[in-house]
Structure 1
Amino acid sequence: MSEISKTVFVLNGPNLNLLGLREPEIYGSTTLDEIAGMLEDRALELGLTIDMRQTNHEGMLVDWLHEAQAQGARAVLINAGAYTHTSIALLDAAKAITTPVIEVHISDPKTRESFRHTSYIGMAAAKTVEGHGPQSYLIALEAVASGEV
């Protein structure tokens, strides 16, 4: 019997490299590096490891979803940024893998502009965590650790 992977991919899409600077009234002042540190600390406590990545390119996110499957990742947490609302390619990639995908958002898209109310990632995600600020990532990680997804 094979051992369950301890690696959780955390994929971040466009403009998330600007967290802490970008629209702090919506996204707060916590940077992506600070979120990575919080996740790494909590993952260590939970016996997991984090593979945290960010790109502004849609195809790279698709490739990373495929890579998570190929490497036998335990789960993928993905904050696809604006691609959440536009990318059928990400929907198809998430549907194509058996690795559980958890959609993560710092803000709550359903309380924002109407074009943010549709989530293609959410159509394939095992769970969505949104609207809890940077804690959304930790809530998602806890769901993985508890076996919820």
Structure 2
Amino acid sequence: MKIIVINGPNLNMLGKREPGIYGNETLDDLRKYVKDEFKDDVDIEFFQSNHEGYIIDKLHEANEEFDGVVINPGAFTHYSYAIHDAIKSISTKVVEVHISNIHQREEFRQKSVTASACIGQISGFGFESYILGIKSLLKQI
């Protein structure tokens, strides 16, 4: 089984950006946490970009190369109809995840335009959101 975890804008700043919301751990810590959880069971690749087009390109590639996608679109969650359309255009199943509970945050963060293109959304459990997203995805594949 081959899964790609796609992280959007500013997730490269984990550990530095708003630690009260996102914690002190880094994107590298997230990679290690996820890979350690699944060890030899699942081949997991990570991708992060601050650029919408690169995320869209990676989603298109995922359709050919991966069995599933876990995506944290970052701020693109709230306004990227292009990422929504890219998710809808592929047959690979996608789960949206968020470290923080977006429904308890600022009003503009409470709406996801990308979630309706996914098979589900998990938010508010820190790095565990990724683990839950992958486990949910594996049950759907």
TM-score computed with the length of structure 1 as normaliser: 0.91
Secondary structure of the residue aligned to 2:30 is helix
Report deviation, 1:148.
3.6
In the alignment, structure 1 residue 125 sits paired with structure 2 residue 118: yes
User: What residue in structure 2 maps to residue 135 of structure 1?
Assistant: 128
CA separation in 2, counterparts of 1:19 and 1:124? 26
Distance 2:53 2:108 in 1: 22
Tell whether 2:36 aligns with 1:41.
Answer: yes
Over residues 82-126 of structure 1, what are the superposed CA-to-partner deviations in whole Å (9 max), with x where a residue is unaligned? 000010000000000110110010001111111112111101010
Alpha-carbon RMSD: 1.1
Between the two proteins, what is the percent identity of the paired residues? Answer: 43
Query: Retained in 2: the 8 A contact 1:110–1:116?
Result: yes
Cα shift at 1:39: 1.1
Q: C-alpha displacement at 1:142, in angstroms? A: 1.4
Q: Secondary structure at the match of 1:61?
A: helix
Residues 12-59 of structure 1: per-residue CA shift (max 9 Å, x gap): 0000000011000011111111110111122225x1111101110000
Please give the per-residue CA displacement for 1:56-93, whole angstroms capped at 9, x wherever unaligned: 0000000000000021x111000010000010000000
Q: Does 1:57 align with 2:48?
A: no
Match of 1:7 among 2, 7, 14: 2
User: Scaled by the length of structure 2, what TM-score is found?
Assistant: 0.96
For 1:123 and 1:144, the matched residues in 2 are separated by: 15
Return structure 1 stretches of 4+ with deviation > 2 angstroms.
none
Note if 1:32 corresponds to 2:27.
yes
Q: Any conservation in 1 of the 2:94–2:137 contact (CA below 8 Å)?
A: no
Matched AA of 1:132: F
Structure 1 residue ranges without an equivalent (≥5):
1-5
Count of residues paired in the alignment: 141
